[in-house]
């Protein structure tokens, strides 16, 4: 599959660009890759045009006028040869750069595996065993948020523990979408967690911690969003420091891995959790706490 890269016409070289994303499936992969690439450019004025489920020449013919009216960069993940050929032809006629963003990776895998790619649209979204595992993980995670259902924690892959507003729930949901069954528990000084937390054998328990100063800021913003203006211990500097110290002692006493989420995005925190989980699975045993 040759990579079609046209010379970018002069009118396209500016701080503003129309970005056309064409996919023969949901376009989730394409959007993610485009977003990752765009993050490398500051102050870029990008107009995105999203075209999912493009699986026929007829569909392409309906899109062609939009490409002509809004000339820009075309990124695509189309595996059907006829559809690809027609898109490349349209782009040549309009003088637009067209980039099949998965071709280089697919070619490298074909060489490494010694076999040709199947070329089936949306194959990564097929309702196979992995798909149903992911659905099950999402259902489990939603049902075991914020300390709920602790009786079933042994069924989890991962249990996240941390004080309030330490990104437990969004990180859990992100991990669930990756196929991991996750439970999470808020650590409150006045209300010790259920004993079950300290008896778990199967799940990997990970402690999430953060800088008290950052946590105070997050909690104050939370209170403002709830129109709560009165002074509470929830966002008190000294109380928050004591909470964080309490959680950290618990992590250390139980030998749980610790992740500092102060300067991490949800995606970065989840990636760190997955790395710890994979290392644990490779070793086939648990290890003592090691902050990352």
Q: What is the pLDDT of residue 118?
A: 66
CA dihedral angle for residue 188, residue 191, residue 192, residue 194, rounded to 10 degrees: -110
168 is in an annotated binding site: yes
50 in the same domain as 140: no
Residues contacting residue 64 through CB under 8 Å, at least 6 positions apart: 90
Q: What is the pLDDT of residue 122?
A: 53
Instruction: Please tell me the total count of domains within the chain.
Output: 2
pTM, full prediction:
0.64
Residues contacting residue 59 through CB under 8 Å, at least 6 positions apart: 53
Residue 292 lies in a domain: no
166 is in an annotated binding site: yes
Q: What is the pLDDT of residue 7?
A: 47
Q: What is the pLDDT of residue 6?
A: 47
162 in the same domain as 113: no
Give the integer Cα–Cα distance in Å for 123 and 127: 9
The secondary structure of residue 264, as a DSSP letter, is: -
| Domain CATH code at residue 247 | 3.40.50
64 in the same domain as 161: no
Q: What is the pLDDT of residue 292?
A: 67
Q: What is the pLDDT of residue 161?
A: 98
172 is in an annotated binding site: no
184 in the same domain as 112: no
14 is in an annotated binding site: no
Q: Going residue by residue through the chain (292 aa), what tens digit of pLDDT does each one get?
A: 444 544 444 444 556 799 999 999 888 888 888 888 888 888 788 999 999 999 999 999 999 999 999 999 999 999 889 999 999 999 999 999 999 998 888 788 888 888 876 656 555 545 567 778 888 999 999 999 999 999 999 999 999 999 999 999 999 999 999 999 999 999 999 999 999 999 999 999 999 999 999 999 999 988 888 887 666 889 999 999 999 999 999 999 999 999 999 999 999 999 999 999 999 988 875 444 455 6
261 in the same domain as 160: yes
167 is in an annotated binding site: yes
171 in the same domain as 274: yes
Structural domain boundaries enclosing 86: 10-123
């Amino acid at each position: 599959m040759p990579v079609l890269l046209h010379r970018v016409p002069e009118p396209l070289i500016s701080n503003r660009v129309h970005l056309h994303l064409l996919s023969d499936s949901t376009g989730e992969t394409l959007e993610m890759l485009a977003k990752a690439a765009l993050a490398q450019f500051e102050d870029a004025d990008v107009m995105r045009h999203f075209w999912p489920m493009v699986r026929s020449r007829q569909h392409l013919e309906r899109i062609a006028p939009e490409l002509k009216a809004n000339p820009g960069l075309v990124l695509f993940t189309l595996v059907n040869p006829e559809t690809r050929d027609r898109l490349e032809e349209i782009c040549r006629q309009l003088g637009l750069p067209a980039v099949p963003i998965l071709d280089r990776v697919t070619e490298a895998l074909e060489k490494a595996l010694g076999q040709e790619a199947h070329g089936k649209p949306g194959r990564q979204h097929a309702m196979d065993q992995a798909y149903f595992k992911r659905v099950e993980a999402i259902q489990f995670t939603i049902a075991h948020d914020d300390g709920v259902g602790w009786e079933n924690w042994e069924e989890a892959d991962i249990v996240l523990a941390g004080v309030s507003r330490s990104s437990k729930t969004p990180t859990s949901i992100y991990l669930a979408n990756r196929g991991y069954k996750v439970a999470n528990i808020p650590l409150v000084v006045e209300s010790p967690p259920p004993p079950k937390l300290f008896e778990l054998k199967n799940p990997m328990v990970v402690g999430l911690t953060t800088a008290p100063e950052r946590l105070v800021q997050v909690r104050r913003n939370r209170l403002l969003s709830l129109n709560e203006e009165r002074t509470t211990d929830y966002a008190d500097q000294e109380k928050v420091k004591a909470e964080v110290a309490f959680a950290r002692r618990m992590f250390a006493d139980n030998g749980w891995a610790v992740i500092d989420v102060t300067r991490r995005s949800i995606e970065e925190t989840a990636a760190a959790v997955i790395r710890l989980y994979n290392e644990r699975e490779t070793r086939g045993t648990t290890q003592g706490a090691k902050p990352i």
